[in-house]
């Protein structure tokens, strides 16, 4: 019994050491040596470009539309990042306002067919639109 406890402690200690190893905490840098932040599932600018490209393909966006959608997505991302430190209730309210503003912008940019498809994708959480949190009825 005593040997199994020691073995368990040794395995746990090895796991902790592995989890905090420098290889796992290494940071990616760009050409200028600046640290590039990467989040699981949200890899930043590269992920946004990939998402935009997929959206452009799915919705068959024109070059002009793609430029406008990219600008709207960047603006939305900045606004969302700006509310990180807000309390949950304020974050929820501000998030709803940002969501409504993005919907309004997309309605202006996209054709009616593209907009309908965008909302459908958005409700399903597929490329071309993000799934809204807890809302099963698209606006």
Whether residue 5 has pLDDT greater than 80: no
Query: Has this prediction a pTM greater than 0.75?
Result: no
Q: State which H helix or E strand residue 99 sits in.
A: helix 88-109
Q: What's residue 132's pLDDT?
A: 47
The answer to whether the beta carbons of residues 95 and 81 sit under 8 Å apart is no
Q: What's residue 122's pLDDT?
A: 82
Q: What would the pLDDT profile of 48-107 be if each residue is shown by its tens digit?
A: 788 888 888 888 989 999 899 889 888 888 888 888 888 888 888 988 898 899 999 999
Q: What's residue 101's pLDDT?
A: 92
Q: What's residue 18's pLDDT?
A: 63
Query: In this predicted model, which residue has the larger pLDDT, 97 or 136?
Result: 97
Q: What's residue 44's pLDDT?
A: 63
Query: In this predicted model, which residue has the larger pLDDT, 102 or 29?
Result: 102
Q: What would the pLDDT profile of 37-47 be if each residue is shown by its tens digit?
A: 544 445 566 77
Q: Pick the closest to residue 76 from 130, 19, 17 (CA basis).
A: 130
Query: In this predicted model, which residue has the larger pLDDT, 24 or 55?
Result: 55
* Most confident residue range from 24-33, 40-49, 102-111, 125-134: 102-111
In DSSP terms, which residues pair with 29 in a beta bridge?
Answer: 35
Q: Is 77 exposed, middle or buried (0-12, 13-18, 19+ CB in 10 A)?
A: middle
């Amino acid at each position: 019994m005593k040997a199994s406890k020691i073995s368990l402690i040794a395995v746990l200690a090895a796991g902790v050491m592995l989890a905090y190893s420098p290889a796992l905490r290494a940071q990616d840098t760009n050409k200028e040596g600046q640290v590039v932040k990467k989040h699981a599932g949200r890899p930043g600018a590269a992920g946004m470009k990939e998402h935009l490209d997929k959206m452009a393909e799915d919705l068959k966006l024109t070059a002009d539309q793609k430029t406008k959608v990219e600008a709207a997505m960047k603006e939305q991302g900045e606004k969302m990042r700006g509310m990180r430190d807000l309390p949950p209730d304020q974050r929820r309210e501000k998030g709803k306002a940002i969501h409504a503003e993005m919907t309004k912008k997309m309605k202006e940019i996209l054709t009616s067919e593209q907009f309908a498809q965008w909302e459908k994708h958005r409700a399903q959480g597929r490329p071309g639109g993000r799934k809204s949190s807890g809302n099963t009825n698209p606006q």
